[in-house]
A = this chain, B = another copy of it.
Amino acid sequence: MNKYINLDNVKFLLFDVFKAQKLCELERYQDYDLENFNLLIQSTKDFGDKILYPTFKELDEQAAYYKDGKIIVHPVVGEVMRFAGANGSIGAYMDYEYGGMQLPSIMHSALSHIIQSANNSLPGYIGLTSGAANLICTFGSQELIDTYVPKMLAGEWAGTMCLTEPNAGSSLSDLTTSAELQEDGSYKIKGQKIFISGGDHEYCENFIHLVLARIVGAPQGTKGISLFVVPKNRINSDGTLESNDVTTAGDFQKLGQKGYCTTHLVYGEKDNCKAWLVGAENKGLKYMFQMMNGARIDVGLTAASTATAAYYASLQYAKERPQGRRITEGGRKNKEAPQTLIINHPDVRRMLLFQRAITEGSISLLLEASLHEDMSKCTSGEVRERHENILEMLTPIAKTYPSEMGRLSISNGLQILGGYGFCKDFPLEQYYRDVRIMALYEGTTGIQSLDLLGRKVVMKNGEAMKHLKEEIVKTITAAKKHESMGNASDDLEKAVSALEATIGELLNFAMSGKHERYLADATIFMEMMGTIIIAWQWLKMANAAELCLQSDEKALNKEFYENKKLTMQYFFTYELPKIYSLKAILMNKDNLTIAEEFPEAFK
């Protein structure tokens, strides 16, 4: 089996950078300790090694497909659901009272990273079931919880999230699926949902769809959207199941993640589809955001994990493939010498460092976000708000940076293999295909960027941004104590100032009423801010590595920590400088993309 992850990295992040073991001092997590955490890491890796990685390629070759009203998937899907049900991982981060393991989110994310590196699509079936169960527990009635959650956590029933409709993709306010209150307190639902991941297959006896719909007579727009539980099969009072008029109308054949079915569902074709309201009427979108924000972190993790596996695949090739010779002083090559391994060529090293900088920086950001989630669960008042604010700020970036840059990272990995990278004999081409969805799932990059610049940066009068900045300053201050960080702390300080100046300039557009122009280049702003946030993570990792180097009790050898510092230096040298060009681009006054200014542009 090829290496797809390095657990040393995972442990370094968890225990040296983010001190996840300290969470065990909090009441909520008091049943855990470092030893438990390490056991979980190892058993999750075993799951990856034994079931997930070995089926990674098979799932691609045996794509899920639709036939006669059914979706056919690889049998491992059932195996995985049952396994995850048995070992408790579907409810990993959920509260004890609902049957969960009450594991810290940061640990849950680290474990997800391991399994997603082994296989970027199978964990989706688990993750959606988790997210749906958690949503029911948070906002649903006790009856809904009792009816659905135990079977879901056991992996017998699967969960999904149903938002997109054929004519309402990114624009949820236009969704038309309707729900009509019935005398028994349930609703009759009618409509279609597309792009539903894991929406149907033969290995779970029931599917619990969490569906956004509009109650008849509800207000237009997002304010009239409610959230419903719509089971594929209704549960009779004796516990038997009965069809609930949810039809699988088709599937989508895709570029990648082929083993992960994407379905088209129709509710109420026979006017007999029952739904149960979750929480209050017309609050559906707000509730769904809990699952969506979780899913955004999860997509970021999957992107970073796919890129991690790709990194190790290209690293292995680079260490085994001899080709060409190094250039010696004087500019010549020694033709008499045997060929060198390609890892010794600067261009290959640069590509490998790029991959490592992107993937490890991304994972670090995702764990950072998860830690704020944990802390917000264990704190109150202003402290809690601070953690929530930071999490809100980081979520669109944690989804987007790994998705966009992970794709480039994998493309670089493919490049390292030369012509072989384009061939099916190596896994890079599959990673290149699989990762492409990440910038589309759960709100495209464009949507995430609008969220970041249009909502997050300005939320609470800039307070969330201020809290985030204070966190970054803490890292800069810590770095200034270490001489070996060189100019990195100054570089990051300067970059944060550039970011603030950019925001200030852009806000002038908004303040003069030009809101469309304010947001026009939000995607470029995302690229700029994402790069700075990852630089922050690298400085944080380098600080931790430096402390490990200074310590007498190092968990790992010296080279490991030196390499972290080297990769930080790579990021600051090759990536961070790009923000200044992005700043210049964002400052443009041309309005080239505003339809009113250039109405004929695409005639």
**Interface set of A (CB-CB < 8 Å, partner B):** 164, 167-171, 173-174, 194-195, 220-221, 252-256, 315, 318-319, 322-331, 335-336, 339, 343-350, 352-353, 407, 411, 414-415, 418-419, 421-425, 429, 432-433, 436-437, 439-440, 444-446, 449-450, 454, 510, 513-524, 559, 562-563, 566, 569-570, 573-574, 577-582, 584-585, 588, 590, 592-595, 598, 600-603
Contacts and interface: CB of A to CB of B under 8 A. Distances in A.
Nearest to A194: B419
A170 B49 CA distance: 35
A521 B569 contact: no
Q: How many copies does the complex hold?
A: 2
Residue among A324, A414, A563, A579 with the most chain B CB within 10 A?
Answer: A324
Contact of A581 (B350, B577, B598): B577
Nearest to A581: B581
A-B complex: 10 closest residue pairs judged by Cβ atoms: A346-B520, A331-B515, A255-B429, A581-B581, A346-B593, A171-B324, A349-B593, A253-B424, A347-B446, A344-B595
B418 A439 contact: no
Nearest to A327: B516
B573 A352 contact: no
Given A407-B411, A578-B585, 13 more contacts: A170-B418, A171-B325, A252-B425, A315-B602, A328-B515, A331-B515, A346-B521, A349-B601, A353-B601, A415-B440, A422-B436, A422-B437, A579-B581
Best-surrounded residue of A255, A433, A566 (most CB of chain B within 10 A): A255
Contacts of A252: 419, 423-425
A449 B345 CA distance: 13
A195 B419 contact: yes
Contact of A424 (B254, B421, B515): B254
22 contacts: A169-B418, A171-B324, A174-B324, A174-B339, A221-B335, A252-B425, A255-B433, A326-B516, A346-B517, A346-B593, A347-B449, A347-B450, A347-B593, A350-B592, A353-B601, A407-B411, A418-B440, A418-B444, A422-B436, A559-B600, A563-B601, A577-B585
Contacts of A444: 415, 418
B414 A436 contact: yes
Contacts of A195: 419
Contacts of A590: 569, 573
B419 A164 contact: yes
Q: Which among A319, A346, A411 has the highest number of chain B CB atoms within 10 Å?
A: A346
A569 B595 contact: no
B169 A602 contact: no
Contact of A423 (B254, B418, B445, B598): B254
Contacts of A328: 515-516
Nearest to A173: B335
Majority secondary structure of chain A interface residues (helix, strand, loop or mixed): helix
A56 B173 CA distance: 38
Nearest to A418: B169
Contacts of A563: 600-603
A1 to B, nearest CB: 20
B170 A520 contact: no
A322 B432 CA distance: 30
A283 B418 CA distance: 26
A448 B450 CA distance: 38
Contacts of A514: 329
Most buried by B among A256, A324, A344, A422: A422
B588 A573 contact: yes
A506 to B, nearest CB: 13
Nearest to A579: B581
A111 to B, nearest CB: 26
Nearest to A338: B174
Contacts of A423: 252-255
Contacts of A419: 164, 169, 194-195, 252, 440
Nearest to A324: B171
A582 to B, nearest CB: 8
Given A411-B407, A415-B439, A419-B169, A593 B255 contact: no
A445 B348 CA distance: 11
Nearest to A221: B335
Contacts of A523: 347, 350
A329 B519 CA distance: 12
A199 to B, nearest CB: 14
Contacts of A324: 170-171, 174
Listed residue (A323, A352, A414, A581) with the most chain B CB atoms within 10 angstroms of its CB: A581
Nearest to A446: B347
Nearest to A591: B346
A422 B255 contact: yes
Contact of A578 (B336, B581, B595): B581
A255 B566 contact: no
Nearest to A223: B335
Contacts of A569: 590, 592
A409 to B, nearest CB: 14
| A195, A325, A515: most-surrounded residue (chain B CB, <10 A) | A515
A323 B169 contact: yes
A143 B345 CA distance: 44
A419 B349 CA distance: 34
A509 to B, nearest CB: 11
